[in-house]
A and B are shown apart, each in its own frame.
Chain A
Amino acid sequence: MPAVQETVDQVRRIDVDQYKYGFETKIESEKAPKGLSEDIVRFISSKKDEPAWMLEWRLEAYRRWLTMREPTWARVDYPKIDYQDYYYYSAPKRKPTLKSLDEVDPEILETYKKLGIPLREQEILAGVVREDGSTPSRVAVDAVFDSVSVATTFKEELKKAGVIFMPISEAIREHPDLVKKYLGSVVPVTDNFFATLNSAVFSDGSFVYVPPGVRCPMELSTYFRINERNTGQFERTLIIADKGSYVSYLEGCTAPMRDENQLHAAVVELIAHDDAEIKYSTVQNWYPGDAEGKGGIYNFVTKRGDCRGARSKISWTQVETGSAITWKYPSCILRGDNSRGEFYSIAISNGRQQVDSGTKMIHLGKNTTSRIISKGIAAGRSQNTYRGLVTAHRKASGARNFTNCDSLLVGDKCGAHTVPYLEAKNSSAVFEHEATTSKISEEMLFYCRQRGLSAEEATALVVNGFVRDVLQQLPMEFAVEAQKLISISLEGSVG
């Protein structure tokens, strides 16, 4: 049997056991009644002690949503979602606002510990020294459990630098002017079906504001965890980098294994003013469902960055390994002259996963540049589509884009597709597009195996090489994590 065939078989045998984050946390939770209505929207808003303007904003979104239709253009196929069959609010019982970590339910702390996410600042500060002599870099973490943020670390130190990093629910109360000014300014309430739904019912997420000229002293990161059954997660993240500031932000996500599909519809808005830079990285590892496609997260996400100021820069880096359905197009609006947008993506699909992901680069300002590097890896019976749009507005003279989309097929039951749209309304725009599709080579695998690597290790090594350009874009700590994740998601039962 040729090596590649064996690899394929092993990958095909992947089952739920491969998902290492599938455990459930047994805690009591407080939920809103099932289903969606104006009352539920009011319930969520009141749970969060929101001011009246916020409630109005939500209600407007909700009414708008009722008139909208779920989009069907993506290359994904799933049974009709009954939006009345979900819980829209679930919070661990106990006070949602916590003074210290000691008030957090130990079960939840245990959960994050199992996930390998350090919430205790003192542990990080104690400086655990690793075998290779390095100390873990300090990362400020906001942890969101179902609908609420349970802990944010390093608050004090960030405050000293003038950086605001807190759950968005808190920001709405504490920094209403900032939130009012920016919320919905990149992804309007009416943007699309899922974003509008999110606007009505979003529960928590992170808020970041970096004042002018400040380089955020550490990586910021949020870990999202869906725990409750039949619960939708609708997080909302808003990041503002004021003039000449810099921030690097990372989000990670996991969920327990469940037979039914869980809904996740997030909205992320980024705003970069003159000379500011935002680096946003995602390691998405929601439960992908079992080998037959049972269960898994439906991930419908709207992520958009606005390079509002001149010479601003936004880069999206994503490592997508989870979710049953992925519908996600992190985009950049290049409004400021000489602004720059980047999109680096690794999307791995296995089993019955369906990924439709890509980016939009919208060139509005002069001499704006964008760069897209997408690496899709399809294994098992999965379908993996890159969908990208690059447009240059009439006034966007000197717009430049470089796109490179490579797809790698592991086996012959999967599919990789590339759907690029290019629109240049300005004749000086220069768009370059490269795309390749290849199969993992049997010769390469044999060479690796002759040197001592198992079929799985060989596949992972070759895939890691294939995605290296993108991995290099991740902050060091997370690159290592992502590399492991890639191996895990390609793992078959050892045999």
Chain B
Amino acid sequence: MSLLEIKNLHVEIDGKKILNGLSLNVEKGQVAAIMGPNGSGKSTLAYVLAGKEDYDVTEGDILFDGESILDMDPDVRAAKGLFLAFQYPIEIPGVATMNFLRTALNAQRKARGEGELSTPEFLKRVREAAAKLDIDPEMLKRSVNVGFSGGEKKRAEVLQMTMFEPRLAILDETDSGLDIDALKIAADGVNRLRSPERSFLVITHYQRLLDHIVPDVVHVLSKGRIVRTGGKELALELEARGYAEYQDEAA
């Protein structure tokens, strides 16, 4: 059984149709890349999967582990192991990153009926994860994403992903804003988490990320639906030829 099954998904916002009969499966342990032109609906798909409420799902279904999650609140989905690394991470003034991580992690654990992590155990995990991602522990004392550089925000997202150990991680352009070294560090962070039990949906515009995170499968999203699926070489082809032919196909 696939970990994620998206069936004929139609999504509107303010009456404007954005996803248009999108179907897609992600297998357990699979790394699936999603590529597609600006405005094709990639972030929308990510938000709908995570349960953002401004979107109207007019048709279709999303199954996570065989269960429809359409009616579930975002926090319930998070506790089930769905994680979204935001394309534009949000700033929360006055809330220390460390405190945020801990509060969120414990909320998820509680929802799953697991006990809270002890302070030493939590600190140990954060420090280890931060060190591997080359994040200065001092940064974790600062408010969530406030005053972080573009690259720091993205690395902080990967840190959260590492801490939460999700079953499905959706990375929405986590590579944008990262310099070459940081890209490698973040990609390594993702690769360390790869396991037969964990799946990834990696949204990106660039082949260079996929050099580091080698996908099992590449989907092309255009005008709100998947228009082509292929192996990792499809990304190279797209890089060479662009999306022109798919935009026509979808129309």
Query: Which residues of chain A have a CB within 8 Å of any CB of chain B?
Result: 1-3, 6, 132, 441-444, 446-455, 457-458, 461-462, 464-469
Contact = CB atoms under 8 A, between A and B. Distances in A.
B250 interface: no
B144 to A, nearest CB: 8
A440 to B, nearest CB: 11
A457 B73 CA distance: 13
B140 interface: no
Contacts of A452: 75, 78-79, 104-105, 107-108, 111, 164
A450 B74 contact: yes
A462 B92 contact: yes
Interface stretch (B82-90, B196-204, B214-222): B82-90
What is the interface of chain A mostly: helix, strand, loop, or mixed? helix
A449 B75 contact: yes
Interface in B36-69: 50-54
Contact of B84 (A2, A6, A450, A467): A450
A464 B164 contact: no
Contacts of A444: 90-92
Contact of A469 (B75, B78, B94, B108): B94
Interface residues of B, number: 32
Interface string B128-166: 000000000000000100000000000000001000100
Contacts of A1: 53
Given A446-B53, A450-B86, A468-B94, 9 more contacts: A2-B54, A443-B90, A444-B92, A448-B100, A449-B75, A450-B51, A453-B75, A465-B94, A465-B95
A447 B108 contact: no
B195 interface: no
A451 B92 contact: no
Given A6-B53, A453-B75, A465-B143, A448 B93 contact: no
Contacts of B53: 1-3, 6, 446
Given A3-B53, A449-B73, A450-B84, A466 B104 contact: no
A451 B95 contact: no
Interface of B: 50-54, 73-75, 77-79, 83-84, 86, 89-95, 100, 103-105, 107-108, 111, 119, 143, 160, 164
A442, A443, A449: residue with the most chain B Cβ atoms closer than 10 Å: A449
A446 B49 CA distance: 13
Contact of B93 (A132, A451, A455, A465): A465
Contacts of A462: 92, 95
Contacts of A443: 90
Contacts of A467: 94
A455 B92 CA distance: 15
B73 A461 contact: no
Contacts of A458: 75
B94 A453 contact: no
B74, B75, B105, B111: residue with the most chain A Cβ atoms closer than 10 Å: B74
Contacts of A455: 73, 75
Contacts of B105: 452
18 contacts: A3-B53, A444-B91, A447-B86, A447-B90, A447-B92, A449-B73, A449-B74, A449-B78, A450-B77, A451-B160, A452-B79, A452-B164, A453-B75, A453-B104, A455-B73, A461-B95, A464-B95, A465-B93
